[in-house]
């Protein structure tokens, strides 16, 4: 299967892009090939598709259900009671719908943590995008629950072989306040043995740090360091309340850090210390978090929130400029997840977008990256390609209506249980 | 001319809406009328269209041209040199294009301040929406310039009678650091005599306050109070750096205050003291500011930034909830500009939107206002009606391609002058 995109803007020049199988084979002018499919790229710009570094995709079912509430009340009275009624089929359709929203806004990889691993994995498989899928691992410091979770994760790891290479298994120990030290130690050794990612929430709120200090007499990153969890396989979401010593440790162990500006603002978590982490040389990527705390999965919007929140926090309009936040959503996220994606280069995975330069938010054409970050919306994405396959063409996705209808049905039904 | 919208969601119930001329005549079920045009509202929700409380619409020409720069450098080296080459025709097409973007994102009134009054006014007239149009009034404390500006504004006020009632004349004294006391005093008496609005920037940055204290030995709001400028006709944009005494003065004189969260973040201006102003009982509306500091004109996005910035600043996820920020973009803005708009009620101006409930960001249907504020994008707006006329139907605007092309041409040409 080959796909030729003709006359598309790549950086500053008009090029052709040849995709063979699931890879970018060639980027140059005047490619003469008898491709299986040809796309006219004129009036469009090709960019790498987006990588969402941290989310709970299926939470799209709860979009708009409970907003403007304190975190505890929100979790205890709204989110958790509803989630206790979820089925794998709900999670499948919710994640299908989340994938639909992602494809429509140009995201082709997401790092997920949620219930019903196979519901998520099947949805990713069917939607045609990529994901690091992790089951929420919570043992509440109970040995019996810990044993169950460990057994479950061992099984899920083995069962992941039934899916294509687009589905990556990851471990999802929820946070240090919900998972025992012993389970975290198990996660470390399992992740090392099988070379999989560990996806966790870390230092999101001040109270998390306070509790950790009371419980373990050390700060969260120090605690994780002491039990050996810090390493390049650790994907740590949030990381807001860290001191200089903790930043050093994160750098020393090459932890991947995910910045979730919209969620951090909506839940009043605080301002991510981007400049301090960047200065230390830590690799940072961008994530939307789940739809119950955002409430969408749009990486274009996330880039704008991400850049503007830093300008506000640093009291410097030059902080986190457009080209840099674009990297957090593409190339730096590619590095974090060791994907050969996030850049438009020959040999990379064919995960890319065609942006409609005639869309109202992208006119005039002074600077594409500025326009994408500060003005564009998902309607600016014309075509989404993942793994060499066209998932959306001129904003049309084949099964859009079916997926929307199922998601709506499942959401309605869930709230009546 | 009559327009009947059948079976549309209004609040919690499905209704018909009858528009006669430019007013909402009736909202009820089963309206039987032989209307000139009938719209099927099924699967859609009707809401009031948005009111943008502060912008410089024609600056859309500079979208993306210069971002991520300190304010002074940005104005002196980028914005002002380019603006010095503008013509009225440029401003006409720029504002036409801005109106196109506004109609596509559901805005039908904007409070504007820019150069070439008639360029803006003609564009508003032709685009079919409403605006309070003000010419930028800057005299740089020079008596000769002040006399010119006063004469110009007197003339523009008279000439506004050539336009429909959708074009409102306003005075636009730029700020206290660019306009002399004498000119501000003239603006006060002219506005009182002719009952027009005075649109100004106020207390946007800390340095503005410091300079004012040095120059006048008082803070900005105190200074305006002492020269008699505070009153219900004053539309003050930004108002970030105000103390309790200044808030009292703003309240006492019923000044209208505009909150511009995206611009305030992008330019690192600070966090608008929403809760303090609200507690004082001040009427607050929402604005996007110009596209050089936002970089779009989307009030849906602005509501999200507005709500989230307050949650961050107040360290309270319950601060500025969705239903409240929606009022800042509709009913409270209607009050600020004394428009019979911003609410869906019989007798009001027929300025309204049909929202596509099948759009991906609005599924599931747990709560429409939460979805609109925290998830929706301009693509959620299906139909825009202003003054009883359909300006966009199913996202189609008649002259969209022509307007886009002209805006792109003008922008390209402007940068080459």
pLDDT digits (tens, 9 = 90+) for A116-130: 999 999 999 999 999
Task: Report the CATH fold assignment for A2-48+343-400.
Answer: Urease, subunit C; domain 1 (2.30.40)
Under 8 Å CB pairs connecting chains A and B tally to: 202
Q: Where are the beta strands (DSSP E) in A69-215?
A: 107-114, 130-137, 167-173, 197-202
3-state secondary structure of B8: strand
CB contact under 8 A, A64 and B318: no
Distance from CA of B139 to the nearest CA of A (A): 28
Distances (CA, A) of B125 to B111, B163, B167, B208, B242: 14, 7, 7, 35, 37
Helices (H), B16-70: none
Half-sphere exposure of A118 (CA within 13 A, CB side): 13
Its sign, for the CA torsion A332, A333, A334, A338, is positive
In the predicted model, what is the mean pLDDT of residues A259-271? 97
Place of tokens 């860290």: A242
Q: What angle do CA A394, A397, A403 make, to 5 degrees?
A: 155
CB contact under 8 A, A64 and B366: yes
Question: Where does the pLDDT of residue B72 fall: very low under 50, low under 70, confident under 90, or very high at 90 and above?
Answer: confident
3-state secondary structure of B136: strand
Distance from CA of B80 to the nearest CA of A (A): 17
Residue A74 has pLDDT above 90, yes or no: no
Residue A75 has pLDDT above 90, yes or no: no
In the predicted model, what is the mean pLDDT of residues A17-45? 98
Nearest Cα residue in chain B from A324: B68
In the predicted model, what is the mean pLDDT of residues A197-225? 97
Its sign, for the CA torsion B335, B339, B343, B348, is positive
CB contact under 8 A, B309 and A265: yes
Percent of chain B whose pLDDT exceeds 90: 96
Its sign, for the CA torsion B408, B409, B412, B417, is negative
Question: Where does the pLDDT of residue A215 fall: very low under 50, low under 70, confident under 90, or very high at 90 and above?
Answer: very high
In the predicted model, what is the mean pLDDT of residues B33-60? 98
Tell which residue, A74, A62, A6, has the closest CA to residue A37. A6
Tell which residue, A323, A265, A59, A224, has the closest CA to residue B262. A265
Residue B75 has pLDDT above 90, yes or no: no
Assign residue B32 a region (left: φ > 0; alpha: ψ between -120 and 50; beta: otherwise): beta
Residue B71 has pLDDT above 90, yes or no: no
For residues B204 and B269, the answer to whether their CB atoms sit within 8 Å is yes
Half-sphere exposure of A374 (CA within 13 A, CB side): 37
**Domain map (residue ranges) of chain A:** 2-48+343-400, 50-336
pLDDT for res A230: 98
In the predicted model, what is the mean pLDDT of residues A208-227? 97
Residue B318 has pLDDT above 90, yes or no: yes
Separation between Cα atoms, residue A149 and residue A158, nearest integer Å? 14
For residues B197 and B337, the answer to whether their CB atoms sit within 8 Å is yes
* Total number of residues shown for chain A: 417
Tens digit of pLDDT for each residue in A355-410?
999 999 999 999 999 999 999 999 999 999 999 999 999 999 999 999 999 999 99
Pairing assessment for the beta strands A381-386 and A352-356 based on DSSP bridges: antiparallel
Return the structure tokens found at B200.
């100004």
Distance from CA of A372 to the nearest CA of B (A): 9
Return the structure tokens found at B63.
């979208």
pTM of the model: 0.98
CB contact under 8 A, B64 and A312: no
Separation between Cα atoms, residue A261 and residue B36, nearest integer Å? 49
CB contact under 8 A, B296 and A375: yes
Q: Which of B265, B361, B365 sits opposite A312 (nearest CB)?
A: B265
CB contact under 8 A, B314 and A268: yes
**Homologous superfamily in CATH for domain A50-336:** Metal-dependent hydrolases (3.20.20.140)
CB contact under 8 A, A364 and B412: yes
In the predicted model, what is the mean pLDDT of residues B222-232? 98
Tell which residue, B321, B404, B322, B402, has the closest CA to residue B61. B404
3-state secondary structure of A3: strand
Nearest Cα residue in chain B from A69: B318
Q: Which of B68, B312, B371 sits opposite A317 (nearest CB)?
A: B68
pLDDT for res A200: 98
CB contact under 8 A, A316 and B358: no
For residues B44 and B80, the answer to whether their CB atoms sit within 8 Å is no
CB contact under 8 A, A65 and B377: no
Chain A interface test: which of B68, B73, B324, B403 (most A C-beta within 10 Å): B68
Tens digit of pLDDT for each residue in A4-15?
999 999 999 999
Residues 6+ apart with CB under 8 A from B75: none
Where b means 16+ CB within 10 Å and e means fewer, B384-401 reads: bbbbbebbbeeeebeebe
Which residues is A286 bridged to in the sheet? A259
Separation between Cα atoms, residue A131 and residue A303, nearest integer Å? 20
Chain A interface test: which of B312, B384, B401 (most A C-beta within 10 Å): B312
Nearest Cα residue in chain B from A366: B65
Which residues from chain B sit within 8 angstroms of residue A371, using beta carbons? 63-64, 295
Q: Which of B264, B375, B377 sits opposite A63 (nearest CB)?
A: B375
Residue B241 has pLDDT above 90, yes or no: yes
In the predicted model, what is the mean pLDDT of residues B343-364? 98
For the sheet containing B284-286, what is the strand order? B50-55, B107-114, B130-137, B167-173, B197-202, B234-238, B256-259, B284-286
Tens digit of pLDDT for each residue in B96-151?
999 999 999 999 999 999 999 999 999 999 999 999 999 999 999 999 999 999 99
Chain B interface test: which of A86, A104, A317 (most B C-beta within 10 Å): A317
Its sign, for the CA torsion B220, B272, B355, B31, is negative
CB contact under 8 A, A65 and B265: no
CB contact under 8 A, B364 and A61: yes
Return the structure tokens found at A259.
């910045």
Residues 6+ apart with CB under 8 A from A93: A123, A403, A406, A407, A409, A410
Which residues from chain A sit within 8 angstroms of residue B63, using beta carbons? 363-364, 366, 370-371, 374-375
CB contact under 8 A, B69 and A318: yes
Tens digit of pLDDT for each residue in B375-417?
999 999 999 999 999 999 999 999 999 999 999 999 999 999 8
CB contact under 8 A, A379 and B375: no
Q: Which of B360, B378, B379 sits opposite A404 (nearest CB)?
A: B360
Question: Where does the pLDDT of residue B324 fall: very low under 50, low under 70, confident under 90, or very high at 90 and above?
Answer: very high
Which residues is B393 bridged to in the sheet? B396
Tell me how far the alpha carbon of residue B90 is from its chain's centroid: 21
pLDDT for res B182: 98
Assign residue A354 a region (left: φ > 0; alpha: ψ between -120 and 50; beta: otherwise): beta
CB contact under 8 A, B408 and A71: no
Tell which residue, B278, B289, B333, has the closest CA to residue B48. B333
Residue B330 has pLDDT above 90, yes or no: yes
3-state secondary structure of A189: helix
Question: Where does the pLDDT of residue A107 fall: very low under 50, low under 70, confident under 90, or very high at 90 and above?
Answer: very high
pLDDT for res A399: 96
Percent of chain A whose pLDDT exceeds 70: 100
Nearest Cα residue in chain B from A264: B312
Residue A71 has pLDDT above 90, yes or no: no
Residue A72 has pLDDT above 90, yes or no: no
Residue B74 has pLDDT above 90, yes or no: no
pLDDT for res A417: 86
Separation between Cα atoms, residue B51 and residue B46, nearest integer Å? 16
Question: Where does the pLDDT of residue B244 fall: very low under 50, low under 70, confident under 90, or very high at 90 and above?
Answer: very high
Question: Where does the pLDDT of residue A96 fall: very low under 50, low under 70, confident under 90, or very high at 90 and above?
Answer: very high
Return the structure tokens found at A215.
């419980």
Percent of chain A whose pLDDT exceeds 90: 96
Separation between Cα atoms, residue B346 and residue B25, nearest integer Å? 5
């Amino acid at each position: 299967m080959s796909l030729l995109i003709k006359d598309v803007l790549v950086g500053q020049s008009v090029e052709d892009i040849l995709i063979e199988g699931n890879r970018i084979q060639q980027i140059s002018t005047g490619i003469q090939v008898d491709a299986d499919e040809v796309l006219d790229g004129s009036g469009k710009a090709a960019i790498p598709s987006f990588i969402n570094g941290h989310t709970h995709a299926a939470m799209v079912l709860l979009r708009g259900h409970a907003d403007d509430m304190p975190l505890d009340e929100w979790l205890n009275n709204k989110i958790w009671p509803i989630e206790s009624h979820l089925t794998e089929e709900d999670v499948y359709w919710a994640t299908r719908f989340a994938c639909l929203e992602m494809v429509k806004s140009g995201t082709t990889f997401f790092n997920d943590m949620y219930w019903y691993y196979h519901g998520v994995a099947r949805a990713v498989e069917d939607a045609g995008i990529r994901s690091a899928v992790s089951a929420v691992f919570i043992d509440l410091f109970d040995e019996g629950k810990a044993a169950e979770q460990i057994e479950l994760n061992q099984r899920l790891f083995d069962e992941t072989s039934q899916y294509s290479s687009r589905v990556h298994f990851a471990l999802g120990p929820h946070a240090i306040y919900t998972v025992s030290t012993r389970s975290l130690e198990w996660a470390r050794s399992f992740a090392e043995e099988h070379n999989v990612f560990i996806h966790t929430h870390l230092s999101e709120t001040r109270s998390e740090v306070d509790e950790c200090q009371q419980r373990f007499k050390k700060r969260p990153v120090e605690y994780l360091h002491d039990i050996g969890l810090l390493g390049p396989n650790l994907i740590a979401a949030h990381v807001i309340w860290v001191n200089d010593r903790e930043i050093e440790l994160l750098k020393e162990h090459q932890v991947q850090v995910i910045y979730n500006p919209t969620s951090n603002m909506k839940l009043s978590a605080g301002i991510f210390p981007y400049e301090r982490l960047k200065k230390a040389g830590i690799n940072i990527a961008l994530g939307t978090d789940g739809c119950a705390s955002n409430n969408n999965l749009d990486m274009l919007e996330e880039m704008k929130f991400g850049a503007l929140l830093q300008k506000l926090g640093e009291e410097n309009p030059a902080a986190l400029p457009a080209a840099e936040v674009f990297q957090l959503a593409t190339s730096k996220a590619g590095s974090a997840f060791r994907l050969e994606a996030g850049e438009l280069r020959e040999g990379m995975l064919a995960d890319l977008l065609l942006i409609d330069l005639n869309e109202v938010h992208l006119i005039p054409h002074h600077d594409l990256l500025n326009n994408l970050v500060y003005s564009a919306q998902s309607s600016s994405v014309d075509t989404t390609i993942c793994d060499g396959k066209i998932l959306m063409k001129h904003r049309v996705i084949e099964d859009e209506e079916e997926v929307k209808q199922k998601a709506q049905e499942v959401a309605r039904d869930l709230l009546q249980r």
